[in-house]
Amino acid sequence: MQRYARLYLAFAKNSFLNALEYRLSFTVWSIATICYTAVYVASIQIIFNHVQTIGGWRVEQMLVLAATVMIVDGLVETVFGENMNALSGLINRGELDFVLTKPVSARFYVSTRRFDWDPLVQVVIGCGVLWYALGQSAEPVTWHGALLYTALVLCACLMAYSLWFAVVAATFFAGRLNNVGYLYYNFIEVARVPTSVFRGGVRLGLTFVIPVAFIATVPSQALLGLLSPAFAAAAFAMTAGLLILSHIFWRLALTKYSSASS
């Protein structure tokens, strides 16, 4: 376990040193993120100038949801983004050989060897939006609500990673799917809408089949004091289940791998 922790820190350090060579990229990313957030928050405010609620969510609650999506997406992009976007290329070019021969878990290596520090700006800005939204809310935030929110945000990150990883691992079966990982971004876009907007089978599907609800809606409800204990327990169970299932799928997918030397 300590060996993996040291390796993880080494990956993060090397990526950070590499990022220092491209300070202009970080600056441009930061400016773009600030502009996008300003437009995003302004659009929510404009919409609520004409309606009182959307799917039962008030403006400050929608801002909490928006901030949560930004935080989860930023964390997932920082830790896993570059790795997931590169994995299909490793598979298609047969370069996964160099990973499979290393004395560490192949999944750990392909999932964590690169860090993209730029999206951390999005996390910081998302925390700022969250602070602003909670300041507009009439309901006080409790310490246990904040603690549960933090735990559920971490669960959301692991769920998003598990789904993204499984989608990219489908390249083993389908072949040249270099851009399959970008399906994740469509998944995040759906998470920007509270699942209460949907009805019937669609709502159930976005909760328990493709767990969009657990990415932003459920953590936001926890912070706002609107989450039932059953859904909180379901979030932890879903996280464990998706991690296990994605690993089983990864092991199965590896049996379909055609290396560069074969």
Per-residue model confidence as pLDDT tens digits over 14-54:
888 887 777 788 888 889 999 999 999 999 999 999 888 88
pLDDT the model gives residue 74: 94
Q: Say which residue, 219 or 168, is predicted with more confidence.
A: 219
**pLDDT at 183 exceeding the cut of 80:** no
Lowest mean pLDDT among 12-21, 130-139, 142-151, 181-190: 181-190
Instruction: Report pTM.
Output: 0.91
pLDDT the model gives residue 89: 79
Burial call 181-218: b when 16+ CB within 10 Å, e when fewer: beebeebbeebbbbbeebeeeeeeebbeeebbbbbbbb
Note the maximum CA span of the chain.
64
**pLDDT at 259 exceeding the cut of 80:** no
CB within 8 Å of 10: residues ≥ 6 apart: none
Q: Say which residue, 239 or 193, is predicted with more confidence.
A: 239
The one-letter code for the residue type at 131 is W
Average pLDDT over residues 147-160: 96
Main-chain dihedrals φ then ψ at residue 256, nearest 5 degrees: -95, 0
**pLDDT at 261 exceeding the cut of 80:** no
Q: Say which residue, 198 or 84, is predicted with more confidence.
A: 84
Q: How confident is the model at residue 83 (pLDDT cuts 50, 70, 90)?
A: very high
Query: CA separation (Å) from 58 to 29, 30, 54, 90?
Result: 30, 29, 7, 45
